[in-house]
Amino acid sequence: MNWSNVQISKLCQINPRNNEQSNYVDDYQVSFVPMQAVSEVSCEIEELIVRRIKDVKKGFTFFKEDDILFAKITPCMENGKIAIAKNLKNGIGYGSTEFHVLRVSNLLVNKYLYYYLRQESFRKEAKLRMSGAVGQQRVPLNFLQNHQLPLPPRSEQYRIIEILDQADEIRKLRKQADEKAEKIVPTLFTEMFGDPLTYSGIMTIREIVKKVEQKDFKKYPDIEFNYIDISSVDGKTGKIISYSKYFGSDAPSRAKQIIKHNDVIISTVRPYLKATALVPKDLDNQVCSTGFCVIRTKADYGFGFLYALSRLNWFSEKLMTLARGASYPAVSDSDILNMSIPYPTQKESLIKKFDDIIINLELKRDLREQANKKIQNLFDLLLSKAFDGSLTASWRAAHMKEILQEMEEQKKFLEKFS
């Protein structure tokens, strides 16, 4: 039995308008969702901010409970930022203008569509259709409107969701384990060096780091490099999770800072997100955004100390006291470099020992990532089988009578669009 392939625009409202906006008083509370609040590994929105509707109804994207948010801009789309809007304040949300919003009809279950959009094959196809300036490319609306997806009966969609949810739970548990493992670094730091609030050795970051080289890659059009943007860093784990490849001729305007192995990169925007990372060996001599402050020690040691320090709540809270801008708080490189920190200059051997601990923890993290990749590959295989019909073939055979009836009703509904 073959499923119908149907254009998404026949099954969803895409970027629906808010015709009820004028019905609400200015102080009516709604949820606000910035791009960074959308998970790359699950359908969840990780942080819902409550705002007054008058503060967000202009200049942001509108959505409702159970709508799907699909990141349309690079690299967020490629990284899998897709979510189902749940637990919205008063059932209404506003968010980044870089979301496409999909609201399903009765023929489609929203989580079935979510899993379909999660497929790497779909995101690769979407990437090929992107348009716009380099570094600011977006998935056009007409790609989503015209794309066809396989449409099984709703009962089979629910069965597919049930199977994929079980597999997805394994991925979530691995993610939770990784996040717990990342708490080891600040814990060890405090055990070895004490609480930064009480430590007496004080000096500025500037005193212990080198100046970092910058380069205008537009002058080197044939050079290819890996580029780390702000969205490339996972603030929860303190790791670079993605990068984009560019030639100098297409380099984003902010792609200027050359990074080295064991540099510490610290995002200067929204410090509360703790987007800091230690540069791994495979990204040595690559490029990061000028939106990062790059910390490189003068000595050949101390990188572990500075990285662990950047992961502390103490550090991000201190940066927030220096930040400027209400909706987009940011600090400058100078703010970071002039920060006074508890650097234990008299404990060189201890600092070197801590560097070794960090290196060892990074190796263990690499092993966890290899295991995670195997799990992800198995999940991707399940996804492909889910949408070619093979995943639920035996279930379908056992429920053929009900399915045939559903498909007849489905056919009548779709005939309205033909």
Walk along the chain (418 residues) and give the pLDDT tens digit of each residue: 689 999 999 999 999 998 777 778 889 999 999 998 998 888 999 989 999 999 999 999 999 999 999 999 988 999 899 999 999 999 999 999 999 999 999 999 999 999 999 999 999 999 999 998 877 899 999 999 999 999 999 999 999 999 999 999 988 888 888 878 878 988 899 888 888 777 655 789 999 999 998 999 999 999 999 999 998 998 888 999 989 999 999 999 999 999 999 999 999 999 999 999 999 999 999 999 999 999 999 998 999 999 999 999 999 999 999 999 877 899 999 999 999 888 887 788 999 999 999 999 989 988 888 888 899 899 999 999 999 999 999 999 899 888 888 888 888 877 776 6
Work out how many domains the chain is built from and give that number.
Answer: 2
| 123 and 184 part of one domain | no
In a domain, 411, yes or no: no
Q: Are residues 185 and 115 in the same domain?
A: no
In a domain, 351, yes or no: yes
State whether the Cα torsion 128-133-137-142 is positive or negative: negative
Same domain for 247 and 140? Answer: no
Q: Which of 358, 388, 405 is the last residue of a domain?
A: 358
Structural domain includes residue 1: no
Are 207 and 346 contained in the same domain?
yes
At 360, list the tokens: 């060892």
For the chain, the first-to-last Cα distance in angstroms comes to 22
Q: Say whether both 140 and 187 belong to one domain.
A: no
Per-residue model confidence (pLDDT) at position 417: 64
Tell me, yes or no, whether 418 lies in a domain: no
The predicted structure's pLDDT at residue 357: 95
At which of 337, 358, 379 does a domain end? Answer: 358
- Does residue 390 form part of some domain? no
414: in domain? no
In this structure, the answer to whether residues 119 and 191 fall within a common structural domain is no
* Domain extent at residue 111: 7-147
Q: Give me the pLDDT at residue 13, please.
A: 96
**Using CA atoms, how far apart are residues 144 and 157, in angstroms rounded to an integer?**
20
In contact, 167 and 382? CB cutoff 8 Å: yes
Same domain, 131 and 185: no
Task: Please check whether residues 122 and 228 belong to one and the same domain.
Answer: no
Judge if 229 and 318 occupy the same domain: yes
Of 99, 132, 147, the residue that ends a domain is 147
Q: Is residue 153 part of a domain?
A: no
Specify the DSSP class assigned to residue 188.
Answer: H
Q: Are residues 350 and 227 in the same domain?
A: yes
What 8-state DSSP symbol labels residue 262? Answer: T
C-alpha angle 376-379-382 in degrees, rounded to nearest 5: 155
Could you please report the per-residue DSSP string of 74-133?
TTTTTTT-EEE--S-GGGEEEE-TTEEEEEE-TTS-HHHHHHHHH-HHHHHHHHHT-BSS
Same domain, 208 and 352: yes
Note the pLDDT of residue 327: 75
CA 23 to chain centre: 34
User: Is the same domain home to 111 and 237?
Assistant: no
- CATH number for 84: 3.90.220.20
Evaluate whether residue 281 is within a structural domain: yes
